[in-house]
């Protein structure tokens, strides 16, 4: 992978399969999987001030204000395990976040190596998110059609209870998709203009998508 840290971003709308793929890539390449949504949910579970502030935005499918999310992610990126690279999932979601990330990486003489974009047509996203079950402990996700857990209601990885996220309800998912088109599609274009965007067909099965991502990442070796 060369000497420079493997800093990667995984982009895609809700239900595109980002979390599932991110866990696989992070394990394979030995970089931490940093998911802004997972971190925010952990703050809520711990009832921190940030968790309490984020709640109303998350429950209605809106974005949590930039400064809160940026501080949270940059703090996480300064931890020792993030010094050899990171896989960011769900961040950046706005141009301001993308610019803050660039500034931070530059400060550390790092740069984003690739932005992987999981593309899935909008009409299949609502179905996917609505059928999603999440582990209360590690936040791994399952879907009873395409990616069922080995034992019903229980996470394969740690036996945690599976639950359906409040914001995976159809009406909230529709709002999240609207927000994605308005705020995050410009981030996709930002990375396309920079020449580091790689588009992946997210409609394939999980192993197929993973193989496509692998092929793209091999180019960085």
Q: Name the token pair of 199.
A: 């588009």
Burial class (CB in 10 A: 0-12, 13-18, 19+), 176: buried
- Backbone dihedral angles phi then psi of residue 118, each to the nearest 5 degrees: -85, 110
Stretch that binds ligand AMP, among 85-93, 98-106, 147-155, 201-209 (CB under 6 A): 85-93
Q: Which of 44, 57, 160, 169 binds ligand AMP (CB under 6 A)?
A: 57
151/170 with CB nearer ligand AMP: 170
Which residue do the tokens 């995976």 mark? 168
Tell me the pairing of strands 114-119 and 197-201: parallel
Q: Does residue 93 bind ligand AMP (CB under 6 A)?
A: yes
The binder of ligand AMP chosen from 5, 61, 85, 202 (CB under 6 A): 61
Report the DSSP beta bridge partners of residue 116: 10, 198
Q: Does 202 bind ligand AMP (CB under 6 A)?
A: no
CB 107 within 8 A of CB 136: no
By CB under 6 A, is residue 43 in contact with ligand AMP?
Answer: no
Q: Which of 42, 14, 9, 218 is nearest to 130 (CA)?
A: 14
Q: Which two tokens stand for residue 16?
A: 């595109």
Residue 16 touches ligand AMP, criterion: CB under 6 A: no
Q: H helices of the chain, where?
A: 18-29, 36-46, 49-59, 66-77, 95-107, 122-130, 170-179, 185-194, 206-218
The minimum distance between CB 60 and ligand AMP, in angstroms, equals: 8
- Find the part of the chain contacting ligand AMP (CB under 6 A) among 5-13, 22-30, 55-63, 109-117: 55-63
- Residue 17 is a binding residue for ligand AMP (CB under 6 A): no
Footprint of ligand AMP on residues 95-154 (CB under 6 A)?
A: 97
Segment lying near ligand AMP (by CB under 6 A), choices 25-33, 56-64, 102-110, 147-155:
56-64
- Tally of residues, the chain: 221
Could you say whether residue 190 binds ligand AMP (CB under 6 A)? no
Q: Which part of the chain contacts ligand AMP (CB under 6 A), choosing from 57-65, 75-83, 100-108, 146-154?
A: 57-65
Binding site for ligand AMP (CB under 6 A): 14, 36-37, 40, 57-58, 61-64, 69, 90-91, 93, 97, 167, 176
């Amino acid at each position: 992978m060369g000497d420079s840290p493997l800093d990667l971003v995984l982009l895609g709308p809700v239900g595109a399969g980002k979390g599932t793929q991110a866990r696989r890539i992070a394990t394979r390449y030995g970089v931490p999987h940093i998911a802004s949504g997972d971190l925010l949910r952990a703050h809520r579970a711990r009832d921190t001030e940030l968790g309490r502030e984020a709640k109303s935005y998350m429950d209605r499918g809106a974005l949590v204000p930039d400064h809160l999310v940026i501080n949270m992610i940059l703090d996480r990126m300064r931890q020792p395990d993030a010094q050899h690279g990171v896989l960011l999932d769900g961040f950046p979601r706005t141009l301001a976040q993308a610019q803050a990330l660039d500034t931070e990486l530059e400060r550390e003489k790092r740069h984003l190596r690739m932005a992987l974009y999981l593309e899935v047509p909008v009409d299949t996203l609502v179905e996917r998110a609505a059928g999603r079950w999440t582990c209360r402990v590690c936040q791994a996700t399952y879907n009873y059609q395409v990616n069922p857990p080995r034992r019903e209601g229980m996470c394969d990885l740690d036996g945690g209870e599976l639950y359906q996220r409040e914001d995976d309800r159809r009406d909230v998912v529709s709002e999240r998709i609207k927000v994605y088109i308005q705020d995050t599609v410009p981030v996709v274009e930002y990375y396309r203009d920079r020449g580091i965007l790689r588009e992946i067909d997210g409609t394939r099965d999980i192993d197929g998508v993973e193989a496509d991502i692998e092929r793209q990442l091999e180019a960085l070796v």
